[in-house]
C-alpha cells in the first residue's frame, strides 16, 4: 500500500468514529440546563459541583442557568412559546403538567430512580406522571411547617398550638407582646398558598373536587374565611402585600411569633441568630375541623422535545440521583427541601430533632390541585393567586363572604371554561 492510501484509510476511520459518536446522541458540545436557584445557596453550590463533575466525566460543557423560584413559571412560558432554549428546564408547582405535550417521556429515568431510591412518594408522582408516562422527574418537594417561637410562648405562659383554634386563642397575647402571628396573604407563590390552602382544606373546603368540578362555594369555605378574618385582626396588616421572602425577613428580625415557611428560616437562624433557632420549633400545620393538611410544592426537571441532547440530558438527571449525591443535595438545603424518594426513611437523613417532622410530613401533604389530580387549569389557578386573593379580599373587608366567593367562582369558571 502507498503512503497516500494509508492516509485515506486513517481519514476514513477518524470520520467514521466522529459520525458514530454524533449519531449515538451521547456527544454534544453543550448541554443547556435551566434549574432552580435555591434561596439556600449551599444547595446551589452542591448542585454546581455535581454538574461540573458530571460534565468532566462526560467530556461536555454544561451551560447552567439558575432561575429564582418565583420566575420559574415565567421562564418556562417563554421557552414553551419560543420552542427554543435549554435542553432541561426546572418547573415549579403544576407547571410540568401545563407543558406535558412539549416534554420528552422519561420513563426509563424514573424507573432507575425508583429502583435506587426505593420508590417515589405517591403524593408527588402525579405532578410528573400522566397516565403511564413520566413527563418530568420530581427532584424535591418543599416541606412547609408552622414555625413557632416556643421560647416566647413559654415566657408568656402560653401552650404550643396544635389546632387553628389554638392559634387564634393565643394570637391576642402574641400581638400584645410584639410577636404577632403573621401568615402571608400577598402574591407569595409558596407561603401564600401554603397558608390559604392549608386553612381552607382543614375546614373542609375545596377548590375543585376529584372530577374537577368547581366546589369552592360551600359552608366550609365560609367557615375558613370567617376564621381568617378573625385571625387577621391580630396579624400585621402588611401581610396582604407580602411575597415569599417577606415573612423570612420579619421572623429573623425578631418581630414574628408564628408563621408558615419551609425550614429555610430555621437554617438561616442557626447561622444568624443561634438563640432564636434554639427557641423555635418546626411544627406540622395546625389541625382544623376537617383534619391536618400540608400543601406542598414540587420542583421537577423536564427535557424539552426539541432538545437534540436527550440522552445526555437523561444521563445528567440520573447522575444527580445517586443515593449519596442526592443525600448531599438534600442536606445542603438545610431542611428547606425534602427528598422525593423513600430510601432515606431507612438510611436516615436529618439528625437535628427540630427537623424530625420531615419524616412524617408526607402523610399530611397534598399538591395544590388536591383532591383532583394535577391538571393544567389548576396551574393557572395557582399562578393567578385566585384563592389567596379570595382570602385577602375578605380579611381586608374589600368584599363580603358571598362577594369574595362569587368572585372566585367567576375566576375559576373562566379558567376551567365552565
- For the chain, list the domains and their CATH numbers: 27-142+297-365 (3.40.190.10), 145-295+384-416 (3.40.190.10)
Answer whether 235's CB lies under 8 Å from 170's CB: no
Q: Write down the pLDDT at residue 2.
A: 53
Residues of the chain with confidence (pLDDT) below 50: 4-28
Q: Write down the pLDDT at residue 376.
A: 81
CB neighbour list of residue 245: distance below 8 Å, 6 or more residues apart: 39
pTM: 0.76
Q: Write down the pLDDT at residue 283.
A: 96
| Residue 397 CB burial class (10 angstroms; 0-12, 13-18, ≥19) | exposed
Nearest to 374 by CA among 197, 123, 194, 201: 123
Q: Write down the pLDDT at residue 394.
A: 98
Q: Write down the pLDDT at residue 343.
A: 86
Q: Write down the pLDDT at residue 142.
A: 85
Q: Write down the pLDDT at residue 22.
A: 43
Q: Write down the pLDDT at residue 103.
A: 97
Q: Write down the pLDDT at residue 94.
A: 78
- Alpha-carbon distances, residue 255 vs 3, 227, 276, 384 (angstroms): 83, 23, 11, 29
Amino acid at each position: 500500500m502507498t503512503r497516500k492510501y494509508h492516509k485515506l484509510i486513517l481519514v476514513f476511520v477518524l470520520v467514521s468514529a466522529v459520525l458514530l459518536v454524533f449519531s449515538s446522541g451521547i456527544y454534544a458540545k453543550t448541554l443547556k440546563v435551566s434549574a432552580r436557584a435555591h434561596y439556600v445557596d449551599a444547595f446551589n453550590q452542591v448542585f454546581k459541583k455535581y454538574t461540573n463533575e458530571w460534565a468532566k466525566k462526560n467530556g461536555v460543557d454544561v451551560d447552567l442557568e439558575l432561575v429564582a423560584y418565583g420566575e420559574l413559571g415565567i421562564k418556562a412560558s417563554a421557552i414553551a412559546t419560543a420552542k427554543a432554549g435549554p435542553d432541561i428546564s426546572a418547573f415549579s408547582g403544576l407547571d410540568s403538567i401545563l407543558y406535558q405535550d412539549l416534554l420528552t417521556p422519561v420513563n426509563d429515568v424514573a424507573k432507575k430512580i425508583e429502583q435506587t431510591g426505593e420508590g417515589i412518594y405517591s403524593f408527588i408522582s402525579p405532578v410528573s406522571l400522566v397516565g403511564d408516562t413520566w413527563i418530568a422527574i420530581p427532584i424535591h418537594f418543599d416541606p412547609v411547617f408552622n414555625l413557632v417561637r416556643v421560647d416566647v410562648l413559654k415566657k408568656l405562659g402560653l401552650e404550643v398550638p396544635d389546632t387553628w383554634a389554638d392559634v387564634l386563642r393565643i394570637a391576642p397575647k402574641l400581638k400584645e407582646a410584639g410577636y404577632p402571628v403573621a401568615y402571608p396573604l400577598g402574591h407569595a407563590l409558596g407561603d401564600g398558598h401554603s397558608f390559604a390552602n392549608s386553612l381552607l382544606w382543614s375546614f373542609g373546603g375545596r377548590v375543585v373536587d376529584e372530577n374537577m368540578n368547581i366546589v369552592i362555594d360551600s359552608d366550609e369555605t365560609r367557615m375558613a374565611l370567617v376564621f381568617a378574618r378573625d385571625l387577621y385582626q391580630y396579624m400585621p396588616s402588611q401581610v396582604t402585600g407580602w411575597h415569599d421572602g417577606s415573612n423570612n425577613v420579619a421572623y429573623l428580625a425578631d418581630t414574628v411569633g408564628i408563621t408558615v415557611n419551609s425550614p429555610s428560616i430555621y437554617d438561616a437562624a442557626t447561622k444568624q441568630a443561634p438563640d432564636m433557632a434554639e427557641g423555635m420549633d418546626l411544627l406540622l400545620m395546625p389541625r382544623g375541623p376537617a383534619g391536618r393538611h400540608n400543601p406542598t410544592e414540587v420542583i421537577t426537571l423536564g427535557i424539552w422535545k426539541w432538545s437534540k441532547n436527550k440522552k445526555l440530558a437523561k444521563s445528567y438527571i440520573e447522575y444527580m440521583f445517586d443515593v449519596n449525591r442526592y443525600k448531599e443535595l438534600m442536606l445542603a438545603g438545610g431542611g428547606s427541601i425534602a427528598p422525593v424518594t423513600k430510601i432515606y426513611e431507612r438510611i436516615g437523613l436529618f439528625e437535628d430533632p427540630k427537623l424530625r417532622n420531615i419524616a412524617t410530613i408526607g402523610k399530611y401533604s397534598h399538591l395544590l390541585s388536591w383532591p383532583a389530580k394535577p391538571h393544567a387549569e389548576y396551574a393557572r389557578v395557582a399562578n393567578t393567586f385566585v384563592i389567596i386573593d379570595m382570602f385577602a379580599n375578605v380579611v381586608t373587608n374589600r368584599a363580603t363572604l358571598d362577594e369574595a366567593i362569587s368572585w372566585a367562582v367567576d375566576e375559576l369558571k373562566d379558567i376551567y371554561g365552565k
